[in-house]
Each structure stands twice: as C-alpha cells, then as structure tokens.
C-alpha cells in the first residue's frame, strides 16, 4: 500500500476533516507570514473582519487540489467529503460576511 493511499482513504469523514483542516492551516500560514503585528484591537475592527473573510475565501483553493487527488483515484466518497467541508467553510464565510458584519 502506497503512502498516498493511506493519506487519502475513500472515506467521507476523512475527506470532510481534510476539507476543513486544509483551509485552516492555510489561514494560519497566511497569518504567520504577515508583517503586521497583531493586537487584540485589530480583531474587533471591521477592516480586519473583511480581510479575514477574504483570507478564508482564498484558503479554500487548496481544496481543489485535494478534491482532484480524490477524484483522480476514483475515491468518490472522499471527494464528497471535501466538497461538504468546502461548503461548511462557505457557509461560515456567508455568516460572517453578511450577517455578523453590520
């Protein structure tokens, strides 16, 4: 059994977890490579919320590669999990962008 087969099993819940965790890791990477010093006052500002929503939206792009890996190996259940994970993050972005930001 190859390493890629162990990392990408044809399982809906594994795909779901990977579809949610990969964008979270990308956001953490984007925040860690930023040159701005983060303060607690920044997190409450509307400008930061708009920037954070944009970062989350862009962080979903690596899910395309993950989805392609699942579909290329005919692991359709894992691909469905990645799609559902992406939709969960899209729902979160929708809530933050349109409902919480006044």
* Whole-number CA gyration radius for the chain: 16
Q: Which of 98, 91, 96, 73 is nearest to 19 (CA)?
A: 91
Q: pLDDT tens for the chain, 102 residues: list them.
A: 677 777 778 889 999 999 999 999 998 888 787 656 666 566 667 777 778 888 888 899 999 999 999 999 899 999 999 999 999 999 998 988 888 765
Give φ, ψ of 61 to 5 degrees: -55, -40
pLDDT of residue 64: 94
């Amino acid at each position: 059994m190859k390493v890629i087969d162990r990392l990408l099993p044809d399982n809906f819940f594994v795909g779901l977890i990977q579809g949610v965790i990969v964008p979270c890791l990308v956001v953490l990477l984007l925040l860690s490579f930023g040159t701005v010093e983060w303060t607690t006052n920044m997190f409450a500002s509307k400008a930061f919320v708009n920037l954070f929503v944009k970062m989350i939206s862009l962080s979903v792009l690596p899910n395309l590669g993950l989805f392609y890996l699942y579909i290329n190996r005919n692991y359709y259940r894992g691909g469905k999990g990645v799609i559902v994970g992406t939709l969960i993050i899209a729902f979160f972005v929708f809530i933050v962008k349109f409902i919480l930001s006044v």
